[in-house]
Amino acid sequence: MSAPRLRWLRAPHPTARQTLDALYAGEVLHAPPTAASRALVDAARAALRAALGDEPRRAHARLSAAAFFEAIGRLRRELYLGEPFHALTRGCMEALGFSRERFAFDPARLRVISHDGHLTPAAAPVYYPHRDVWYGHPACLVTWWVPLDDLEERETFVFYPEELSRPVPNDSEVFDYDEWTRRGWDLKIGWQDVESGLRARYPQHLGPPPRVEEGVGFSCARADNLLFAGAHFHQTRPQSLGTTRFSLDFRVVEVGDHAAGRGAPRVDDRSVGDAVGDYVPAGAVTWER
């Protein structure tokens, strides 16, 4: 059985409005690096080397699991909360025509997909098929994903484009954004507690999982820009390649679309709360919490 088709964009449409409408309709923008995305990646890679030493992708083989996890936790906070990284994120947005006046963003998170990570029970939520909107985000959510290295298709993730406009069985009603952040932002930033993957309730697909082989995958180059509607159903590939995959992603909303309720189809999201209240206005110069 051939994989369903996904409509790829290789460059933004002439206006941000046209690009957003295309993303809401299910197209995925896979654009080459910009000077801004390279600057973001260079800064993140430098921070990785400072935290993990040379060859960060193989650091898991020379560090204890506890030391690796602690270093990644510190780094996630630095990237998510640091104003220098906010400024670099704004630059990425502007480089593809997303003006500061119209957008807000949830800052960049460091994503870590480890060699054989799918065999660790505490990491199971990383591999759940899901929609990003199941985490209290609006229909107009755009997810912006940037790899820190050149990656083969087997190192990334897959989309199930046919599911964009039809519901899938899920338990997104377990997610309450206010409860999620009530004791602090550690879960929002990324796991700072090794047991979070066992204790926290992460929305997930119910029933027999979709087969990764039936999804639509992609390869990418370092600092590529991959943008897709947060309503897209997708899944991280498990990998046993002896290396760790590092990437960044941040979430973007057009404030007018959020106010008007515009966006991609919202067919099965029952999560509670609105994460946008904690987004950073793209024109802001300080972070307050």
The reported pLDDT for the residue numbered 83 is 94
Sign of CA dihedral 165, 89, 156, 207: negative
Backbone angles phi, psi at 118, to 5 degrees: -70, -10
- Beta-sheet strands, E only, within 92-233: 103-113, 142-147, 157-159, 225-229
**CB atoms closer than 10 angstroms to residue 7:** 10
| CA–CA dist 245, 249 (Å, integer) | 13
Token pair for residue 97?
């025509």
Which parts of the chain are beta strand (E)?
Answer: 8-9, 28-31, 103-113, 142-147, 157-159, 225-229, 234-236, 245-254, 280-281
Query: How confident is the prediction along the chain (289 residues), in pLDDT tens digits per residue?
Result: 444 589 999 999 999 999 999 999 999 999 999 999 999 999 999 999 999 999 999 999 999 988 998 999 999 999 999 999 999 999 999 999 998 889 999 999 999 998 888 888 778 888 899 999 999 999 999 999 999 999 999 999 999 999 999 999 999 999 999 888 887 666 667 654 555 544 578 899 999 989 999 999 999 999 999 999 999 999 999 999 999 999 999 999 999 999 999 999 999 999 999 999 999 987 643 333 3
Cβ 98 vs Cβ 16: under 8 Å: yes
Tell me what pLDDT residue 282 has.
79
Give the pLDDT confidence score for residue 4 in this predicted structure.
Answer: 55
Q: How many CB atoms lie within 10 A of CB 116?
A: 13
Closest CA to 170 of 111, 231, 212: 231
| DSSP-based three-state secondary structure for 188 | helix
* Cβ atoms 234, 161 nearer than 8 A: no
Strand, helix or coil for residue 70: helix
Domains and CATH numbers, the chain: 25-281 (2.60.120)
